[in-house]
Structure 1
Amino acid sequence: MNAHASVQASDLVPAMRQRQWAQKTRDVVLCRRVIDETHDVKTFVLTSAADRMFCFSAGQYVLVHLRINDTAVTRCYSVSSPPTRPLDLQITVKRTPGGLVSNWLHDHLRPGSEMEIEGPLGSFNLDELPSQKPVFLSGGSGVTPIMSMLRALTDRADDREVRFIHSAKAPGDIIFRSELDALAARFPNVQVALVCSQGDPAWTGSTGRIDGRMLLSLVPDLHTRTVFACGPEGYMKTARACLDAIGFPPEQYHEESFGGSNGTRSELASAIPSSVRFARSGVEHHCTPGETVLEAARKCGIYIPTACQQGVCGTCRITKLSGEVAMEDLGGLTPEEKSAGYVLACCSRPQGTVLLDI
């Protein structure tokens, strides 16, 4: 390479860095392609309208900002593509009966459509939770962050011994089935097991629900590994229960959960009469037992942005000026944010009188 070419190549580095997607960036994206994965699951291939490259960790998620029926709505979706392919970003969405956003995406997002996303977000990823011997457990559309991790590892020809166990209702519901089979055939260090709760005459894989015996038969050295699990709350409860039953070390377990409730109301409800005062709005609300700040705000007509409603994404972060709340978050706030007085409206329940900066 001559000197002139070398200088030109070096000039590209800062330009590329300026084009990178920074943490918690809000950006307009274009839908480039829609892929039918199963009868009720689609993958949306997105590129940045500002021609940015997407920089994130495998396993993280984004917030999708939409306006539906003149109402602003936000939802969080795990990225299913790997960071090793930075020119596009993919989200894989299952159509949920009655689901406002999932149905809108399936029915309206087409190649050429624009929308806003924000990210990347989330600590469920291989950069913050490294492992030399990962076991990936996923159920249903919980496969999406796990697939991002697997694609990143195989793109890099990583030689880590990966064990992937995915559960689905029926063979036709297995997301990324052909790709999972191809990756397992191509990479000898990757072993994939597909489990269906309902089989069919042509199905030769495992049938039923995961339990401790099944996990140990598929991964005999399970206790020496790190588990990464993602799926609907029912699946997650089953996974946690069977791992606990076989004495799996809890410090070797990490999860990303969705579709569950915001804690147990009976445990979090307070017998103390509680109220919320919204300082900037000038409104005070007397809470019912177990009522969250988000529920109180909605009853008062006060808008608080929200997405996961489980204390994961941090979208509903607000500043508490005084008072106490019982907050059961799932990592949506950093220790520094908690020290600064932030709380998450979706999973914070007032304990007495609480003053909020909103």
Structure 2
Amino acid sequence: MMNAHIPFSTADFALAMRQRQWAESARQFVRCRRVIDETHDVRTFVFSTASGHMFSFSAGQYLILHLTIDGATVTRSYSVSSPPTRPLDLQITVKRVKGGLVSNWLHDNLRPGHDIEIEGPVGRFNFDDLPCEKPLFLSGGSGITPVMSMLRALTDRASGHDIRFIHCARTADDIAFRAELEALAARFSNVNVSFICSQEGSVWQGPKGRIDGPMLLRLAPDLHQRTSYVCGPEPFMQTVRTCVAEIGIAPSQYHEESFGGAVGNSMPLQSAVAGVTRVRFARSGAEHLCAPEETLLDAARNCGLHIPTACQQGICGTCRTVKLSGEVAMDDLGGLSLEEKAAGYVLACCSRPQGTVCLDL
């Protein structure tokens, strides 16, 4: 006798999927399954969970990697380059940076079968929270990773969004995902892809030089009708900000995420107020007398207090902390929104006290 058919409802299916999903924001180990060479110095690392759980995140978000390198614990943030529409694996794409501790370690040591600890997903720069119908994805160098996740998610869904994708690289050999991007543009009539090479000889027939306002309008003539999603190294970001300001793009039509802030300060910090500088921690009652150039994060650590941190360059916002009183010199790279700044948040990793500062910690 054949078994009777038992209906499996949509609600049952949704529950089953949720039970298999990654526990968002939890720290867990994932296993490297594959390493893909994208260019001569860019590699994609493909991960999955040992339990078979699916990954759940928004296109554009990033992970925090917790690594042990030469006996020291190191954390770094990397955007997810794969789309949430492919939930069985998770990918990050990493450019080898000269002198970069983590990027070089990943390239030299992470191989299929190795486990690493991650935390996430994290980030407000994502297409779910910032949707639009006519996106312009504009990236420079390794900043291509979050906008690549957004593009892949939209094309996986065969969405009708009117998409322009502009990527800036040093040479044609430095363009990550070039073949895939060209294939997507050929397959989908609503996807337009352009590349700009800043240092290229006669072999490159496309746009050359550094991006500026006229070039941006030439490649995206309907820019005023679009919402821009921009990511790249800070010098690239500064150039784009200047371009869109001169063109007159509304702030509501511009979203960004900075990558690869310069080591050290991009501009000199204000020197500390003459006299004693100290940090007081309201809830714990601790107090720290600061040495010159110490940050709020340094002060907390010296008092045995924990402030979560990742990039330590003022980019990711992980270390945001409420300042109750006092003044700081904050050399951030966009890790706080205007609303967070107005609410009293500061970034502990890149803020130095000016006199006495009190934190809600």
**Equivalent runs, 1:332-347 vs 2, <5 Å:** 343-347=346-350
Q: Which residue of 2 aligns with 1:350?
A: 353
TM-superposed CA distance for 1:14, in Å, is 2.3
Determine if contact 1:25/1:118 at 8 Å carries over to the other structure.
yes
Q: Which residue of 2 aligns with 1:57?
A: 58
Q: Which residue of 2 aligns with 1:160?
A: 161
**Equivalent runs, 1:257-272 vs 2, <5 Å:** 257-260=258-261, 264-266=267-269, 270=273
Give the 3-state SS of the residue equivalent to 2:15 in structure 1: helix
Please say if 1:253 is aligned against 2:254.
yes
Question: Following the alignment from structure 1 to structure 2, what is the Cα–Cα distance between the partners of residues 73 and 284?
Answer: 24
Q: Which residue of 1 aligns with 2:289?
A: 285
Q: Which residue of 2 aligns with 1:175?
A: 176
Give the 3-state SS of the residue equivalent to 1:6 in structure 2: coil
Q: Which residue of 2 aligns with 1:94?
A: 95
Distance 1:316 1:331, change over 3 A: closer
Residue range with higher mean Cα deviation, 216-225 or 86-95: 216-225
* TM superposition score normalised by structure 1: 0.88
Please say if 1:225 is aligned against 2:229.
no
Residue range with higher mean Cα deviation, 345-354 or 44-53: 345-354
Distance 1:296 1:123, change over 3 A: same
**Equivalent runs, 1:306-345 vs 2, <5 Å:** 306-317=309-320, 323-326=325-328, 330-331=334-335, 343-345=346-348
Letter in 2 for 1:315: T
Determine if contact 2:335/2:347 at 8 Å carries over to the other structure.
no
% same residue: 61
Gaps of at least 5 residues in structure 1 are: none
- Cα-Cα RMSD: 3.0
Question: Following the alignment from structure 2 to structure 1, what is the Cα–Cα distance between the partners of residues 337 and 141?
Answer: 27
Q: Which residue of 2 aligns with 1:140?
A: 141
Give the 3-state SS of the residue equivalent to 2:5 in structure 1: helix
Residue range with higher mean Cα deviation, 267-276 or 208-217: 267-276
Summarize deviations over 1:214-233 as a string: whole Å, max 9, x none.
11111111111111100000
Distance 1:314 1:238, change over 3 A: closer
**Equivalent runs, 1:19-30 vs 2, <5 Å:** 19-30=20-31
Question: Following the alignment from structure 1 to structure 2, what is the Cα–Cα distance between the partners of residues 269 and 253?
Answer: 34
Determine if contact 2:272/2:355 at 8 Å carries over to the other structure.
no
TM-superposed CA distance for 1:350, in Å, is 2.1
Determine if contact 1:230/1:257 at 8 Å carries over to the other structure.
yes
Residue range with higher mean Cα deviation, 192-201 or 73-82: 192-201
Q: Which residue of 2 aligns with 1:234?
A: 235
TM-superposed CA distance for 1:324, in Å, is 2.9
Question: Following the alignment from structure 2 to structure 1, what is the Cα–Cα distance between the partners of residues 26 and 336?
Answer: 17
Question: Following the alignment from structure 1 to structure 2, what is the Cα–Cα distance between the partners of residues 61 and 3?
Answer: 46
Distance 1:305 1:117, change over 3 A: same
TM-superposed CA distance for 1:13, in Å, is 3.5
Distance 1:18 1:333, change over 3 A: farther
* TM superposition score normalised by structure 2: 0.87
Give the 3-state SS of the residue equivalent to 2:88 in structure 1: coil
TM-superposed CA distance for 1:175, in Å, is 0.5
Question: Following the alignment from structure 2 to structure 1, what is the Cα–Cα distance between the partners of residues 345 and 249?
Answer: 34
Distance 1:336 1:139, change over 3 A: closer
Determine if contact 2:167/2:195 at 8 Å carries over to the other structure.
yes
Give the 3-state SS of the residue equivalent to 2:159 in structure 1: coil
Determine if contact 2:278/2:287 at 8 Å carries over to the other structure.
no
Please say if 1:203 is aligned against 2:204.
yes
Letter in 2 for 1:183: L
Distance 1:306 1:192, change over 3 A: same
Q: Which residue of 2 aligns with 1:83?
A: 84
Determine if contact 2:58/2:127 at 8 Å carries over to the other structure.
yes
Q: Which residue of 2 aligns with 1:190?
A: 191
Letter in 2 for 1:200: G
Question: Following the alignment from structure 1 to structure 2, what is the Cα–Cα distance between the partners of residues 268 and 80?
Answer: 39
Determine if contact 1:142/1:232 at 8 Å carries over to the other structure.
yes
Question: Following the alignment from structure 2 to structure 1, what is the Cα–Cα distance between the partners of residues 84 and 70?
Answer: 34
Aligned length: 354
Determine if contact 2:60/2:126 at 8 Å carries over to the other structure.
yes
Summarize deviations over 1:229-253 as a string: whole Å, max 9, x none.
0000011011111122222222211
Distance 1:309 1:211, change over 3 A: same
Question: Following the alignment from structure 2 to structure 1, what is the Cα–Cα distance between the partners of residues 12 and 218?
Answer: 54
Give the 3-state SS of the residue equivalent to 1:36 in structure 2: strand
